[in-house]
Amino acid sequence: MGKERRDGWFTRRIMRLTCFEKRAMNSPKHARYTERTALALLAHVALPSQPRCLEIGCGQGALARLLVGRLNASVMATDFDPGQVAVAKERLADLGKRVEFRVVDARELPFDDAQFDVIFSFGVLHHIPRGWRRAVAEVARVLQPNGSFIFTDFFVPSFVGRFIALLFPRLDQLEETALKTCLADNGFHLEHYERGWCMLGLMRHCQAIARKG
């Protein structure tokens, strides 16, 4: 992809999973975790019948399967990594045309404006240094008015973010205050937000629902 060719080595490395991350991502344990997380978040939002869903970072396809089975949704399953798209496509072959698959850069979504009723992103934004703000803007663009952005992610708390900014001023690391400001700047308001600590207190994890408009 053109965008990927313009990125430096560091950005490309962060945006692609390592072999160890892929092994964990494609495990049955991670599939069960994804299902539990999705069901907990879906309990906080009312979606239209047969919603049009976009998944950014489809991994092995566990979420897409859940959306088709539980919501009778049509799903556009995307990932930056062609290998993960191939894995998801193979594992979801029995779902037929209910799921489409695309290799996609979240910073340049190849979809029309206001095309989806709900967009999911589980653990993706922190993999896009120097580009996560553009990804949020693209989510806002392709999401229907009053549509929901349902996401989970890892971010650095503000005090860690300030330290990183001093050391690496060009690295726009995902940080909690900046994330909330970016969502508001793109017309989102948070309807549900949970967070917790991880990795010895140096990172936080959030689960959230943001509504457009």
Give the lowest-confidence range in 30-44, 87-101, 131-145, 172-186.
172-186
101-112 residue pLDDT tens: 999 999 999 999
Residue 53 bridge partners (DSSP):
75, 118
Domain ranges, ordered by start, for the chain: 2-212
pLDDT confidence of residue 156: 76
| 3-state secondary structure labels for all residues of the chain | CHHHHHCCHHHHHHHCCCHHHHHHHCCHHHHHHHHHHHHHHHCCCCCCCCCEEEEECCCCCHHHHHHHHHHCCEEEEEECCHHHHHHHHHHCHHHHHHEEEEECCCCCCCCCCCCEEEEEEECCHHHCCCCHHHHHHHHHHHEEEEEEEEEEEEEECHHHHHHHHHHCCCCCCCEHHHHHHHHHHCCEEEEEEEEEEECCCCEEEEEEEEEEC
pLDDT confidence of residue 173: 80
The mean pLDDT value for 60-72 works out to 97
pLDDT confidence of residue 28: 95
pLDDT confidence of residue 135: 97
Structure-model confidence comparison of residues 113 and 13, the more confident one: 113
Which fold, 2-212?
Answer: Rossmann fold (3.40.50)
On the question of pLDDT at 97 being above 60, the answer is yes
pLDDT confidence of residue 2: 42
pTM: 0.88
